Amino acid sequence: MSAFNLSVQTFALFNLKAGIRIGLAILILTFMALPLSASTIIADLSRKDVAITTDFHGTELLLFGAVKGEEEDDIIVVFSGPQTKIASRKKEKVSGIWVNTKTVLWQNAPSFYQLLSTRPKDEILSTALQAEYRIGQNYIPLQTKTPIIPQSDYAEWFQSLNRNMSQLGLWKTSIGDVELIRGALFRAPVLMPANIIPGRYEVRVIHVSNGAVRSEYSTTVRVKKQGIGAVIFDIAHRYSVFYGLFAVAFAVFAGWLAAMAFRRS
Amino acid sequence: MYIYLPIAEVSMHIGVIIGLGGGVGFLSGMFGVGGGFLMTPLLIFLGVPPAIAVSTEANQIVASSVSGVIAHWRRGNVDFKMGGILLAGGVVGSSLGVLLFSILRDIGQIDLVIKLSYVIFLGLIGGLMLLESIRAILRTRQPGARRGKLHQHNWLHGLPLKMRFRKSKLYISALLPFFLAAMVGVLSAIMGVGGGFILVPAMIYLLGMPTYVVIGTSLFQIIFVTANITVLQAVQTQTVDFVLAGLLLFGSVIGAQIGARFGTRLKGEQLRGLLALMVLGVSVKLGIELITAPVDVFAVEFIK
């Protein structure tokens, strides 16, 4: 009965590409075949590999899956990118001009962090549980190179990081972007902007019911550079002397060519 | 159509890049300047990281100087001996500049130093040029004004290591062009410019070189200074975006041809006056950025 319902919904509610539709069908069948497992959620993505090619201008992934739950349950998705070092700098007015005066070096900030949920997370889970499951920017375990002094300034620095990263489209909270259908199927679009960095992206999907976490499912997405751009990047970093000399030789040739081409005119 | 620049790691519209190259190329063709002082701040303004903008612009200037020097060389307007001394100084200075650039970047002050250099040097040169061209325009309205001496003698002519520069009709200390070029080289590496806008007036007024050899000789030395910056930055910081440089170049080559034709319709003094206003404009624009409160006093920077 429930399997029948799901397959009907699969076709009725998801106007997805054929590949995704088949993927979802397989996913649901696998899920149905595990009736006694403790897991109540399973998910997959429209693409598990994102290639940064020459025409890359950001991309949208679709996260989709099935859940064994009730209609009023909630889904939270935490999508986080590879950790990176980030310098937060603060400007102050020094003799009339704005100058960077203070710096905090974050050692392990996620380069990308998107939190998606069916409803605002505070309405779904207690803050204690949010902290335990590291749900939300506030609960990212951040380290700084040197401690922030005075410690009371930490909140201000963290908020500035959160704000700056949001402005770059890299950290984001989207409430209501997870669509849960009859407590059984869900989908969520994940927007990856053009300034993402290559590496492993971790996707955690959390099923919440009555203020408690029922189960969690995680998967990964790989972002890598591909094509001619990747080759240029690789040469520039591995054979940098050759790359530099080549860039100069190319410029000399191009300059000469330009002079020749417009010689008569 | 967007293109993902492999080294800058930003996605930009290809039309914007070629258009930028064309626009700056047009102005540089019209005024006979390199255009680095316009291109680098515009690239930064468009979201290219400062280090990438400066290194990539150095790469592009290599090409524009090569194409510029060929015409001067054919007319015999390059003083290779003077150029050699200048390029020796320029290579030393620009190497120091590249080093200074990476130190400033690490301590988070490179944006400030780039902007301050632009405000000070463009302001100074632009101001002097404007005064000069106003004076020239006034002078043409008063015929019969007396011409001054070829050049004045002062303490600079008493320095040791004197050399004879036939083409430039000079007998001066080699130290003078060497240190001049070294100083300009430091600025080239930090500002992402060829440095012609400082070198050319300095060669005329400070060294006393005849005007007709100045442009060719300065272009000749700029090739080597910017080539040096390109290679050093490529090796040390991997910030030369060859794709960005190529696209800018494509636009600027075409723009420069159109600009050059356009420029012949205007009088020399008018051209210099306009150029002065443009130089001053960039200086004032960046100066305002330094003194107005930023929208957010906090900013992030990715550390490689």
Residue appearing with tokens 């930055």: B233
Mean pLDDT (chain B) is: 89
Q: Using CA atoms, how far apart are residues B20 and B250, in angstroms rounded to an integer?
A: 10
For residue A148, the model assigns a pLDDT of 87
Task: Give me the pLDDT at residue B22, please.
Answer: 94
- pLDDT of B270 reads 81
pLDDT in tens, B132-168: 888 888 887 665 545 555 555 666 667 777 888 888 8
pLDDT > 70: percent of chain A: 88
Nearest CB among A105, A240, A255 relative to B235 is that of: A240
CA distance A196 to chain B (A): 9
Positive or negative CA dihedral for B136, B140, B146, B150? positive
CB contact under 8 A, A89 and B7: no
pLDDT value of residue A8: 41
pLDDT digits (tens, 9 = 90+) for A41-52: 999 999 999 999
- What's the pLDDT score for residue A13? 45
Q: Which residue has the tokens 């598990």?
A: A48
Q: Which of A159, A188, A172, A233 is nearest to A46 (CA)?
A: A188
Task: Nearest by CB to B2, from A55, A241, A246: name it.
Answer: A55
pLDDT at residue B191, rounded to an integer: 94
Angstrom distance (rounded) from CA A242 to CA B45: 30
What's the gap in Å between the CA of B152 and the closest CA on chain A? Answer: 37
Neighbours of B88 (CB within 10 A): 18
**pLDDT tens-digit series, residues B56-75:** 999 999 999 998 888 888 88
Scan residues 30-59 of A and list those with Cβ closer than 8 Å to B.
52-58
Tell me the three state secondary structure of residue B204: helix
Give the pLDDT score at A18. Answer: 67
Q: Do A252 and B4 touch (CB under 8 A)?
A: no
Contacts of A145 (CB under 8 A, 6+ apart): A105, A107
For chain B, domain boundaries? 2-142+151-291
Confidence of residue B19 (pLDDT cuts 50, 70, 90): very high
Please state, in angstroms and as integers, the Cα–Cα distance from residue B165 to each residue in A130, A207, B80, B183, following that order: 77, 82, 9, 21
pLDDT above 90 (res A37): no
How many angstroms away from the CA of B164 is the closest CA of chain A?
30
pLDDT value at residue B144:
54
Mutate to test the interface with B, among A55, A85, A98 (most CBs of B within 10 A): A98
Which amino acid is present at A242? F
Residue percentage of chain A with pLDDT more than 90: 77
Mean pLDDT of A128-147: 94
**Between A and B, how many CB-CB pairs are < 8 A?**
183
A19 pLDDT band, cuts 50/70/90, is low
- Please name the residues between 142 and 201 in chain A that touch chain B, using a CB distance below 8 Å: 157, 160-161, 163-165, 167-168, 194-195, 197
What are the tens digits of pLDDT across the range A192-243? 999 999 999 999 999 999 999 999 999 999 999 999 999 999 999 999 999 9
Task: Kindly indicate the confidence band of residue A10, based on its pLDDT and cuts at 50, 70 and 90.
Answer: very low
Residue B59 to residue A225, Cβ atoms within 8 A: no
Q: What is the DSSP letter of B167?
A: T
CB A242 within 8 A of CB A234: no
Interface predicted TM-score of the whole assembly (ipTM), two decimals? 0.89
Residue A5 binned pLDDT confidence (cut-offs 50, 70, 90): very low
Q: Taking residues B197-201, what's their average pLDDT?
A: 88
Euclidean distance between CA atoms A203 and A189, whole angstroms = 12
**Closest partner residue to A255 among B62, B108, B294, by Cβ?**
B62
Range among A14-18, A147-151, B241-245, B265-269 with highest mean pLDDT value: B241-245
Q: Is A259–B66 a contact, with Cβ atoms under 8 angstroms apart?
A: yes
- What pLDDT digit, counting tens, does each position of B236-269 carry? 999 999 999 999 999 998 898 888 888 888 887 7
Do residues B170 and B164 lie in contact, with contact meaning Cβ atoms separated by under 8 Å?
Answer: yes
Residue A3, pLDDT score: 44
pLDDT band at A107 (very low <50, low <70, confident <90, very high): very high
